[in-house]
A and B are shown apart, each in its own frame.
Chain A
Amino acid sequence: MRAAYRTFPGPDGSILYYPLIRVRVGKKRGRTTRFFEAMVDSGAADCMFPESIASAIGINIESGKKDSRNGIGGMQDVWIHPIILYVGEHALHINAAFAKTLPIAGLLGRVGFFEHFKITFDPTSDPPALN
């Protein structure tokens, strides 16, 4: 699978490229989201999603095991829940961290995502892509 980076607007009319892919998440024997864009982030310890995604699949985030995550913006509380992450034809049963807010719809990190695939970032292609 090869996925071109997706663009976001940058300052002063510029265009920024990010490794975003379309995924869905769901609960076993429960609801599944529509496709949304999540960032492939090798710096993230695990997969994180905002409360809005949790609510859509019937998860009350504070019912999960409470934990914390350190990010560039500081530390935040997260709650862990088992979910199914749908990536391409793969259905991955993972434990994901849910936060009250995130600036994007999802982060795909090492545990739960990178451990299942061999991923190569290729910023030399036009547009940049990941394999």
Chain B
Amino acid sequence: MKKDPRSEALRNAPLDSWIALSDDETRVVAQGLTYQEVADELDRLGDNSAVILKTPPRWFPLAV
């Protein structure tokens, strides 16, 4: 099966949470229960390049 660092990082990330991925999308660099918790953690880390995501309750295929 094809290796994908981003999906591997997400698979190990907390579910139903807000997280930040490093700019290269290979590592979770912050996590929290709200967007603001993650943004505050990135401020504390001085990280201006991470991208924030919301993880779903389970990694099922999405139908939104």
Contacts and interface: CB of A to CB of B under 8 A. Distances in A.
B29 to A, nearest CB: 12
Interface residues of B, number: 29
Given A11-B60, A34-B52, A56 B11 contact: no
Nearest to B37: A52
Contacts, number: 92
B35 A10 contact: no
Contacts of B54: 36, 50, 52, 102-105
Given A35-B50, A53-B35, 9 more contacts: A9-B59, A10-B7, A15-B1, A33-B52, A55-B34, A55-B36, A56-B35, A102-B54, A103-B62
Interface of B: 1-2, 4, 6-8, 10-11, 18, 25, 34-36, 39, 42, 48, 50-54, 56-57, 59-64
